[in-house]
Amino acid sequence: MRVVALAGGTGSAKLLRGLQAQGAELTVVANVGDNAWIYGVYVCPDVDIACYTLAGIADRTRGWGIRGDTFRMLDLMARAGTETWFKLGDRDLATCLARTQMLREGLTLTRATEAIAERLGTGCAVLPACDEPVQTVISTPGGELNLQEFWVREKGRPRALGVRYLGSARARPTARVREAVEKADIVVVCPANPVTSVGPSLAVPGFVRLLRSARRVVALSPMVGRSPFSGPAGKLMEATKAPPSSLGVAKLYSRFADAIVVSDRDAGLSQEIRGMGLACVTTDTMMSGPAGEARVAREVLAA
Ligand code: FO1
């Protein structure tokens, strides 16, 4: 079975592991809206967490970076008086340095990502949603912040007034992403923040049309009640006027998805979701341990 997984950060990793365990021919299309130039290197958190997860080296407790990584480079930068609020590990820095060098040599982000994924041993293709820079920008009372400034530096505290995707109008789905979606038996939207992890890709002209042409699109909601598995999804959904619940996720995805899998605790929403033209499956969406990840992946593929 050919599976394309649209993936964000921490919340997506568990489903990616579950899909990998199914022996599916997997292609990951990772969000680029969180990418940022930090410490002189190009950091791509969602691309990297997908690569580290599939290569079996991700730090599962933190939800980002590499297991057992050290932070010596940051210690010295702090001693030199530089701000070090973004905890980029030493081995993680190596990935970012390699990527930055490849980009400076003229490779596209797609080519650089494919090379990194292969060398890390992901066993499947990892692709950025697009090659052009698309940046999630959050409007707050103190001004606009990128996702890392909002979430890591400011700890997600500022009031979010709105969200825009800087650069999206000039971006296009890459040929590799098009080909993967066209050949896929199913496109799975991982339980990622719909505003910051899926929204940047949907804002790319032609991306929603591409998803509509897919054989089947199934999403796993990241929400249980009004809370996401992780991260600021609820707050940012409210900022974009979407109800912070699986109902809001279904509304955002109803223009391209065939089905959505939601928590059995939200079973009460199923009828309204079906009214939007989506099939709705309810299950225990908390993926605890490898068995839980595999079970939910099987249910998503069968939905
Ligand atoms: N998240 C944090 O909360 N604090 C950090 O210091 C931090 C560092 C970091 C370094 C590399 C990387 O790839 C991701 C990192 N993240 C960190 C996670 C990241 O901010 C977000 O969780 C993702 O952008 C959301 O998908």
Concatenated DSSP letters for 246-257? HHHHHHHHTTT-
pTM of the model: 0.96
**Where exactly are the structural domains of the chain?**
2-139+165-302
Joined together, the tokens standing for residue 187 give 């496109």
Regions of the chain short of the pLDDT cut 50: none
- Identify the pLDDT of residue 11: 84
Of 15, 59, 64, 230, best ligand 1 pocket probe by most atoms within 8 Å of the beta carbon: 64
CATH code matching the domain that covers 2-139+165-302, chosen among 2.60.40.10, 3.40.190.10, 3.30.70.580, 3.40.50.10680: 3.40.50.10680
Residue 69 CA to ligand 1 centre (angstroms): 14
3-state secondary structure of 25: strand
How far is the centre of ligand 1, averaged over its atoms, from the C-alpha of 10 (Å)?
A: 9
**Ligand 1 centre distance from Cα of residue 231 (Å):** 10
- Cα 147 to middle of ligand 1, angstroms: 10
Structure tokens at 137: 């920008």
Residue pLDDT, tens place only, 75-124: 999 999 999 999 999 999 999 999 999 999 999 999 999 999 999 999 99
| 222, two tokens | 């990241």
151 lines ligand 1 (CB under 6 A): yes
